[in-house]
């Protein structure tokens, strides 16, 4: 198996990082029913009510619910009528990620440099005000209909952003220990991976820190290729997948067929205690992919000693992988909508900075079993 680890510095030095990012600000989903989506993410994933925008706050064409769990901010937006671009997005893609918002110190400079570097403008810089201060935002187009919005909130003290009001609810399920966005993966079309690698390098100053070819990521039946892009300080990581030829249909191709285009495949959310988090998620009805029992028989030989109780990991179906710097624990949900598109990864890093290459085979075989059930392999 060939994995090319690019032997370059971890990122750009501060002086050469032309797009300094403070991390992920929020992920916005366009969904058919934001009220019910918010209920699902509160009940199942333990997000907390944060802010609301809609007719009651002077927004006429949509409703948005902002939820928070530690440093994770998710926004669910639904259109109130069919004559707008949000409705078009849902008609084509189903429920999915529209916006991967990035926190910056200067949203105007971020827009200027990225559009000068060739990005298509999604939103010219705009300054929003309310009684809590001033928030500046701008945006560029990324793969498919997905966009990156730059958020400058250093002069803003409100619950979320102007246009929203604090959302207080009587129903507040406890959180599940999810902490922050670890990475967001994009699925792009045939032979498009390198074009998007170039986009993140040239437009946004990211670097390719890991590459997996179709020999790394293939089972008996299907294959894909992936390159991991990271910004200068490593806070933002976007792996980019494209399908590869196999005996049967690549999972990336299945996604592209049902999302009807390129888009965000999964969001990885970090936890400091994966056993606790996954126990809670399973109790609340979140469905995960499962691997055969044989996976756990070979686990100690493959990863060596770990702190966690193997029985608990086995019972929950949590996967483990090791790299030169430590190990990681991870598990993947089934798609969270009826189309086989967006899913989640829950990840706990114990030193490891990689993405679980040792689990790819077991994981992709689990995905194929689900594809088979759907008649899409
Ligand atoms: Fe991942």
76 vs 332: CA distance, rounded Å: 21
Ligand 1 centre to CA of 130 (Å) is 37
Q: What is the DSSP string of 316-369?
A: HT-EEEEETTEEEEEEEBPPSSSSS--EEEEEEEEB--S--GGGHHHHHHHHHH
Q: How far is the CA of 345 from the centre of ligand 1 (A)?
A: 6
CA 268–ligand 1 middle distance (angstroms)? 6
C-alpha 58, offset from chain centre: 30
Q: 362 vs 43, which has greater pLDDT?
A: 43
Model confidence at 219, pLDDT cuts 50, 70, 90, reads confident
Ligand 1 center–CA 111 separation, angstroms: 27
pLDDT at site 232: 95
CA–centroid distance, residue 116 to ligand 1 (Å): 30
For ligand 1, the distance from its centroid to the CA atom of residue 183, given in whole angstroms, is: 7
Treating both helix axes as pointing N-terminal to C-terminal, what angle do 251-259 and 360-374 enclose, rounded to 10 degrees? Answer: 50
* pTM score, whole prediction: 0.94
- For ligand 1, the distance from its centroid to the CA atom of residue 160, given in whole angstroms, is 27
The 10s digit of each residue's pLDDT in 71-110 is 999 999 999 999 999 999 999 999 999 999 999 999 999 9
User: Residue 11: its pLDDT value, please?
Assistant: 45
Instruction: Give the Cβ contact number of residue 114 at 10 Å.
Output: 24
Q: How far is the CA of 269 from the centre of ligand 1 (A)?
A: 9
CA of 227 to the centre of ligand 1 (A): 12
Domains of the chain: 14-166 (3.10.180.10), 178-374 (3.10.180.10)
Per-residue pLDDT for 209 more than 60?
yes
CA of 217 to the centre of ligand 1 (A): 13
| Mean pLDDT value across the chain | 93
Q: Which has more confidence, 220 or 315?
A: 315
Distance between Cα 310 and ligand 1 center (Å) = 22
For residue range 244-298, list pLDDT tens digits in order. 888 888 899 999 999 999 999 999 999 999 999 999 999 999 999 999 998 998 8
What distance in angstroms lies between residue 266's CA and the mean position of ligand 1's atoms? Answer: 7
Spell out where the chain has E strands: 3-5, 23-30, 48-53, 62-69, 72-79, 96-103, 121-130, 133-141, 147-152, 165-166, 178-187, 207-212, 223-230, 237-244, 263-271, 319-323, 326-332, 343-350
Each residue of 21-80: pLDDT tens digit?
A: 999 999 999 999 999 999 999 999 999 999 999 999 999 999 999 999 999 999 999 999
Distance 329 CA to ligand 1 centre (A): 11
């Amino acid at each position: 198996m060939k994995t090319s680890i690019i032997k370059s510095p971890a990122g750009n030095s501060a002086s050469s990082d032309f797009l300094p990012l403070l991390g992920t600000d929020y992920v916005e989903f366009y969904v058919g029913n934001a009220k019910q989506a918010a209920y699902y993410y509160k009940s199942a994933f333990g997000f907390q009510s944060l802010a609301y925008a809609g007719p009651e706050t002077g927004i006429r064409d949509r409703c948005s619910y902002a939820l928070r769990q530690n440093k994770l901010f998710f926004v669910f937006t639904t259109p109130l009528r069919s004559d707008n671009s949000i409705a078009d997005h849902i008609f084509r893609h189903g429920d999915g990620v529209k916006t991967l918002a990035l926190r910056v110190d200067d949203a105007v400079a971020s827009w200027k440099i990225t559009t000068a570097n060739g990005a298509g403008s999604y939103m010219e810089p705009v300054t929003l005000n309310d009684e809590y201060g001033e928030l500046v935002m701008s945006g560029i187009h990324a793969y498919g209909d997905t966009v990156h919005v730059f958020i400058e909130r250093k002069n803003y003290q409100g619950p979320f952003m102007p246009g929203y009001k604090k959302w207080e609810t009587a129903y507040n399920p406890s959180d599940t220990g999810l902490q922050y966005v670890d990475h967001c993966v994009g699925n792009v079309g045939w032979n498009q991976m390198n074009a998007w690698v170039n986009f993140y390098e040239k437009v946004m100053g990211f670097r390719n820190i890991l590459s997996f070819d179709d020999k790394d990521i293939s089972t008996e039946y299907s294959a894909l290729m992936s390159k991991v892009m990271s910004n200068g300080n490593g806070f933002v990581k976007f792996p980019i997948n494209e399908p590869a030829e196999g005996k049967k249909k690549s999972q990336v191709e299945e996604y592209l067929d049902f999302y009807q285009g390129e888009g965000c495949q999964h969001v990885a959310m970090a936890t400091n205690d994966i056993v606790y988090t996954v126990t809670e998620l399973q109790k609340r009805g979140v469905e995960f992919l499962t691997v055969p029992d044989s996976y756990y028989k070979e686990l100690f030989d493959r990863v060596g000693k770990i702190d966690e109780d193997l029985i608990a990991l086995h019972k929950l179906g949590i996967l483990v992988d090791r790299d030169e710097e430590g190990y990681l624990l991870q598990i993947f949900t089934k798609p969270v909508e009826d189309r086989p598109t967006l899913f989640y990864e829950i990840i706990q890093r114990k030193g490891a900075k990689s993405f679980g290459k040792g689990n790819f085979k077991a994981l992709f075989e689990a995905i194929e079993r689900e594809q088979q059930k759907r008649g899409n392999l």
